[in-house]
Amino acid sequence: MFGTVESYLLPFAVTLAAFVALWGVSLAKRDSSVVDFWWGPGFLAMLATAAWLKGSLDPRDLALLGLVGAWALRLGWTLGRRRVTEGHEDPRYTALRRAWDPGFWWKSLGIVFVLQAVIQFAIALGPLSALSAPATAIGVLGAVGIVVAFGGLALETMADAELDAFKRTARPGDLCDTGLRAHVRHPNYLGEIVFWVGIGLIAVEAGAWTGLLSPLLITVFLTQVSGAPMLDERLSETRPGYAAYRERVPGFLPSLRPQTRDG
């Protein structure tokens, strides 16, 4: 990794302080899902802190800040708006609350808020290291990374827009299986992975091999831990046609032909 200890510790301290503050909010509201408000913006806060410490920024730094900034603000707005609209705790955190009671109010500080700060920092190590790297021109790998990251961001944005439009007219139990979701079950998670692959390529070109951590960790979490597995389980319980949809439509590798109910 490049840079000084301060260039990593201060960004981590900034995001950790925000998560701890949100923990206090979660106690007052009895809603741990407020942690989601900081998942996206926290990345931008860490990179902005590292950029402030560095002072002079090169084109690669600006590209990283622009891409991560657009991703972070979009995700923060999307998750925050959904939390406000839904008006109740995300079922994932409700399940944790039941599993870790009694005493979830203080246990949640570690298992929800501090843990997310650590994971967020680990994912951000790639772009943080790239920001601290010596200035070099953006080459072919970096340019490919920019295109890939932008493509992932566009995919996420389209997937979330389709889901929001569906929810506005959906009846209880309805299943969104049209548009992108006729080709792949989790287009928003796929877009997230593609975005971080792009960011990783930009970081690796700068010599920051920690950039490989970003897509690797995101892929593991979304495909094996808290993303698709939990969503598949919850939708299987709440959407009557989801089991058949799950059999028909691939999770992350899109089918070229739409997999409709009638084949």
- Please give the DSSP secondary-structure letter assigned to residue 206: T
- Please give the DSSP secondary-structure letter assigned to residue 3: S
Long-range CB contact pairs, 255-263, < 8 A, 24+: 255/183, 255/184, 256/183, 257/183, 258/182, 258/183, 259/182, 259/183, 260/177, 260/182, 261/177
Q: Which residues contact 70 (CB under 8 A, 6 or more apart)?
A: 153
Residue 262's pLDDT is: 59
CA-wise closest residue to 61 among 149, 9, 130: 130
Residue 140's pLDDT is: 97
Query: For the chain, how are helix, strand and coil distributed in percent, rounded to 5?
Result: 75, 0, 25
Report domain extents, the chain.
Answer: 1-133, 138-263
CB count within 10 Å of CB 101 equals: 10
Structure tokens belonging to residue 84: 């406000």
238-255 core/surface letters (b: 16 or more CB in 10 A; e: else): ebeebeebeebbebbebe
On whether the CB atoms of residues 156 and 191 are closer than 8 A, the answer is: yes
CA 110 vs. chain centroid, Å, equals 20
On whether the CB atoms of residues 64 and 46 are closer than 8 A, the answer is: no
Mean pLDDT by 10 residues, the chain (263 residues): 80 97 94 92 96 90 96 90 76 85 90 95 94 90 97 96 89 88 95 97 93 94 88 86 90 85 59
Distance between CA 234 and CA 223 in Å, rounded?
A: 15
Helices 115-132, 39-54: axis angle to 10 degrees equals 30
